[in-house]
Structure 1
């Protein structure tokens, strides 16, 4: 008995990649789950691997783990060569009602993947007696909270602890309260959108730091005298240091290192500097905001900028970046979006996208959000309006993940 992947039609449209963040107990992103959108023509994730092959697997080269949805058929057909086993975790759906022979065949496939260096993730059904031979090979057990009654969640976690050394990843976490309850049960990894929920927090210490970033942004936006900005930065050495790190490390292709703010203005100009000053906001979150919120905002920003590159003039691409970056401003600063936006001197179309979901940047933002949620209808509507192919979106999406990983590393130093 052998397993073969379904034939891939050369004329069918490529799948579009969606992602969900995987966060740790402190709500910092430690990995992503990559999967085909629900409306994909195949359910074996063959098109996901086609998309990774077309766009390159560099997205797996950053500091984060990438959970790649991968069928047994894909594994059996030898399509894993494009993945780096040091970074890729194979998240494998389990077949229903397997015979003993089927369980044995699939165990051999799992064993080969482990010998090749891959870590494996299966859902909680791997704890059933029929799959006992698989359990020692599993690194992660995916616990879908929507598939289990509340009374069974703790029992399943306990069973996983007793029978396996695998880490548990709790999927579809509802809110911070559920996250905290699971954390107390020993769960260390979580997947879901709950971390993006705005929380109003009045933390004077954190807000003072954010106020400094907003002050810097407004000085740059209004093209204040360089001497005035330099005087301000002398009192904010941390902001100055991070800003210069961003500028010197983010692919400008500059032939010389930027050594001061005045030098940066001469080389880049105020408009380009504004976006880098805005990035500082993602590293100065309000006390209740998850670190994952800042990471998500940076991915959205870069994704929107890349998608806009061939459709809008350069200055509009910078504004698309700002829309993505500030699309989680309410979460990052802990106040309602309207209150947050009014404190900044943003371009009119940027404010319109954030406050009214309108204007030229609205479909770009809708598309960026759909890449996170797997919303088939929203994705098709936005991609159709922008006349972007799945291939174009996939390429931009993976490049945005790489770039955001680099930015996060700089911002944390």
Structure 2
């Protein structure tokens, strides 16, 4: 009989099951994975894929943070495996929550290739409706996921969606005909999802559904590619260059120091998202073709998807940086309502004011290599100038100290406008903005 134990490198006994788990962990560290499940038309032909997060070659997902999972799916599809390999000539449906809907990162996905599948937990309000209208004008199609009843939220959302996915496992069968008829009356494309039996498929066809998805047709397939890693400090340097409108030569020099980002950038620009009709081979061509705004979005997405010990939305450092940045932007607009550049610089100062904590260093050691504008760098390192004063006020507000006293102590009259009542409102608005940005 074979021995159920083997020894690890340190000579400790190890079961075959444990060895298998370690092999899987090593594989997961070396490769990236994306799941895709076919969406078929009424004739059984492939129409599209739903793209799914997978953390390993095992065909299931363990998602602790929806935003991070979506970011990883997009990163891996565009930059890791490649759109042609994942989607072929078809569209990809991507689950997306409220936070990423409001982020410029969504524009990394080409509207002609990706459908935004809004999670069932997202509540529709005026702000979200306006954002979705903008995205649809940009060419995106919007799908509503996991519909199982005519809820008030669904009725609010229907005018702003193109596609509705009805969950055949969760929907009361006696209610299916009325639900399908009502949704069809709104002129929406109907997808029957989680179709698991021939009887379900026949029922969905009879009820007029246009597209079909589920285990009856195919389980998700897991695609993989060797993992590439991007240095967080390199990404921060890149974002700093973009923030100060650096030239192509500087961007090219920085990107050359991070070949993994270069590889993913070339995949991005060579994807159909840019419709160039030719492949870009040089780094300089890629920068020109992509544009600095898209490169900035890509760098942000890599940071989102980088993953840490905590989910992005649960990381207190991320929350502190985001709230502080928004508070500084609002305060800057309050004292200088017509100076957009000052407000933008204030937001960036808030973002970079905690970067040294991310990389476990000091502010000057972290920021000096980034070559930020002197106003931002000196505000963070030395609390110098108006921006430094604004940062001190923001820190006091964030630590529940007397921010009004800090403001009144400044020599410039502008800061007198930051009264206790105003500061309290700005602090509340900043917290509310960040909460809305994270989603429901």
The TM-score with structure 1 as length reference comes to 0.41
Who wins on radius of gyration, i.e. which is larger? 2
The TM-score with structure 2 as length reference comes to 0.39
